[in-house]
Amino acid sequence: MNKPRKLAAGNWKMNGTLAALAELDALLEEGDRDCEVLICPPATLIHPAVARIAGGGIAVGGQDCHAAESGAHTGDLSAAQLADVGADYVIVGHSERRTDHAEDDGAVSAKAAAAHKAGLTAIVCVGETEAQRDSGETLDVIARQLAGSVPEGATAGNTVIAYEPVWAIGTGRTPTTDQIAEVHAALRNALVARFADGAGFRLLYGGSVKPSNAAEIFAIANVDGALVGGASLKAADFGPIVAALDAVG
């Protein structure tokens, strides 16, 4: 089985207006790559981002979706609506959604299933808090989140797993390479045990990824790319991260 290309995904979170799309131009100028590049801007920018890229080799995704296809859900967007405006991916279960909106594993699984139904690739996020890390619960937390958040019917083609330790997101702190390797190995083993194509799922690391540490992180076994937050907002920062991933082949 051919494994999907490595993936450099940028999560802009609640940042950016139309003017920010100029950053995409610099990324487009870098030309063809062996890895896949994805930008997940705010929902207001998805359609204009798709239009600006115009088949130029960068994918666009959403940052969240509702589990329902339609209905009385003011302020929410369905996976079908994201696909309708050109999105290829959607992030589900990000720690900020789990914390700020009290989303549990069941809700995340339902959103991922909705993404699959709409033809989107779901990026399912898992990760432990600092307290859970310090108390030695990391692998148990990750196993529980993975089991509960990834729906039946997930495949290496429609699902990506992103490990984002909550304590490393936007803090400048990064786990050691051994800590990242341990979690990614556990994720891989769990996926292989559950899914026939578990060896093919892409596993991303996220949490204070930046140009200065990207190459070291991408050299770790079972790290197939990154989910990048703040460093994805500027091409000057995200471009070197993409280049580092491209270099590992």
Q: 231 vs 76, 147, 176, 234, 237, CA distance in Å?
A: 27, 30, 19, 7, 5
CA-wise closest residue to 145 among 186, 88, 200: 186
43: amino acid identity, one letter: A
Q: How far apart are CA 15 and CA 238, in angstroms?
A: 15
Which residue among the candidates 94, 96, 103, 116 is catalytic per the annotation? Answer: 94
Helices (H) and strands (E) in the chain, counts: 10, 8
**DSSP-derived secondary structure letter, 120:** P
Q: Which helix (H) or strand (E) holds 162?
A: strand 159-163
Number of other CB atoms surrounding residue 235 within 10 Å: 19
> Distance (Å, rounded) from C-alpha 115 to C-alpha 79?
5
The helix or strand, by DSSP H or E, that contains position 158, with its residue range, turns out to be none
Give the whole-angstrom CA distance, residue 249 versus residue 235.
21
Residue 94 among the catalytic residues:
yes
**Catalytic residue (one of 23, 128, 164, 184):** 164
Catalytic residues: 94, 164
